[in-house]
Structure 1
């Protein structure tokens, strides 16, 4: 694991216990609904096996279970603290929780009908590697569906940036009890690719039918893309 990835891993291990609460506060209660949208996209074409990366406490994985009760679901993360939380939450017992690094997934080629993730891409050191791994483990015709943050744009962008730099670290101090971790989350969002640039990375990985839906003044995006059916 690269040094920068180890730092991110330590950050998420440190905020695991209050991560869901902070997500609710930072999105004004919208986070769960967005995760449900991701799950609906992932399960819309059917299939019986799903992988949720950067699963955290399993919000998206549980939403996939609700949409597809008979499917096999793996919730994977490289934060052991997050996985420990997930394993003990009510309703998570029939999901397979596994440690995995998104840069090098321990799964077979073409194993999954869909891959989901929330806030993964802004936190990885090798974005192209991570997308290539998702492409590899998907079946032909399989879907990746994701919730990802995005730097604000448009006339309100300066005000949104200022609000993020003030409000989120303050919440991180008072509620999350780790100001530095939530300052990192702000910095990783503001420094991440804009939607046009991220679309090109999906295309470079081989994905087609790439779609994006903005949420929360464009600071969050719901992405979907497909692995082509090979002829």
Structure 2
């Protein structure tokens, strides 16, 4: 989904890449077994992708924005498979990934129905026993300012476990970061 100029600048910065590497991913993936073939939905400018390619043998990234997907292909295409597609309708085979992840991107999905389609697609492409894990931000004053004239559809934490269960997941867990209030989740495909 389109982002305003300030948001694009932040998300493409080295500062954001360091924050992702040092804070966001360690928290979001604590105790998560990614396996050997990971799918990232909504990698944006690749801050998470560049960490994931160092941790697992195979990474596929699905990016909805064509220009951003082309940028990812130029930067990381020799180490990851980049697919220009909508995470709510991925042209990927059923049960093909050991894990599916998404980080700080669900709030860019304009509707809850589209978010639910992403959850269903994550379930579809996961192997049995695979994990869907990720995190997303919650509203705050600064977060609202950053999203001025930008898509901001945060996922209400109280409804997330039920929405993941409705998509077919089991062993759903969710908690919030004690300082930022960000939400992280984990769910398994039976």
TM range (shorter): 0.7 to 0.9
Q: CA deviation at 1:62?
A: 2.5
Q: Larger Cα Rg: Structure 1 or Structure 2?
A: 1
Question: Unaligned stretches of 5+ in structure 1?
Answer: 1-7, 152-160, 170-181
State whether structure 2 residue 61 is matched by structure 1 residue 75: yes
State whether structure 2 residue 101 is matched by structure 1 residue 113: no
Aligned pair partner of 1:102 in 83, 87, 91: 87
Please say if residues 39 and 116 of structure 1, whose CA atoms lie closer than 8 Å, have aligned partners that are also in contact.
no
State whether structure 2 residue 20 is matched by structure 1 residue 35: no
Q: CA deviation at 1:55?
A: 1.0
Q: CA deviation at 1:57?
A: 2.2
Q: Quote the Cα distance in structure 2 between the aligned partners of 1:93 and 1:14.
A: 29
Question: Unaligned stretches of 5+ in structure 2?
Answer: none
TM-score (norm 1): 0.68
CA spacing shift, 1:213–1:67, aligned 2, 3 Å? farther
TM-score (norm 2): 0.81
CA spacing shift, 1:85–1:40, aligned 2, 3 Å? farther
Alignment partner, residue 202 of structure 1:
164
Q: Quote the Cα distance in structure 1 between the aligned partners of 2:63 and 2:9.
A: 15
Q: Quote the Cα distance in structure 2 between the aligned partners of 1:195 and 1:214.
A: 8
Please say if residues 16 and 47 of structure 2, whose CA atoms lie closer than 8 Å, have aligned partners that are also in contact.
no
Q: CA deviation at 1:138?
A: 0.4
Aligned pair partner of 2:107 in 122, 128, 133: 122
Q: CA deviation at 1:67?
A: 2.0
Aligned length: 186
CA spacing shift, 1:37–1:66, aligned 2, 3 Å? farther
Please say if residues 75 and 98 of structure 1, whose CA atoms lie closer than 8 Å, have aligned partners that are also in contact.
yes
